Amino acid sequence: MESHAEGFTLVELMIVVVIITLLATIAIPKFATLVRKANEGASKGSLGSIRGALSIYYSDMEGVYPSDLTSLTIEAKYMQAIPLSKTPSYHWDSSSVVNGAVSTDAGGWLYDNIQADAADGSVWVNCTHTDTKGSVWTSY
């Protein structure tokens, strides 16, 4: 009786390793892009939430915007907390707020609290870089 060893040959194992490596080199960059797009979507959604809370505050205060965004979180009347701004690859996730009309490109949020300014009460992402579609963050 002959004994046959069962298993894979070295060539078969090497082919499997090459195939897995090729799949990984294709899948990993796609996954990173999807994660970045998800973070961008989260920032845009958070921006919409802040703007909605500002509109309600403006209505409640009969035409006056708050002096800073933290006013929206007092007693959680308008928001529980200022949400994170996520600008992948450029800045850390941050809920910090810079008051004024000029971006410092530091991440977080930019809030125009200058009453004499035409954009008083406006809020943007405090980043001068572009998203995956090529739009500058401060253009939203």
Instruction: Write a three-state SS string for the chain.
Output: CCCCCCCCCHHHHHHHHHHHHHHHHHHHHHHHHHHHHHHHHHHHHHHHHHHHHHHHHHHHCCCCCCCCHHHHHHHHCCCCCCCCECCCCCCCCECCEEECCCCCCCCCEEECCCCCCCCCCCEEECCCCECCCCCEHHHC
The pLDDT assigned to 27 comes to 86
Tens of pLDDT, residue by residue, the chain (140 residues)? 566 667 888 999 999 999 999 998 888 888 888 888 999 999 999 999 999 999 999 999 999 999 999 999 999 999 999 999 998 778 999 999 999 989 999 999 999 999 888 899 999 999 999 998 999 988 88
What does the pLDDT read at residue 108? Answer: 94
What does the pLDDT read at residue 1? 59
Residue 138's pLDDT is 87
Q: What is the pLDDT of residue 3?
A: 65
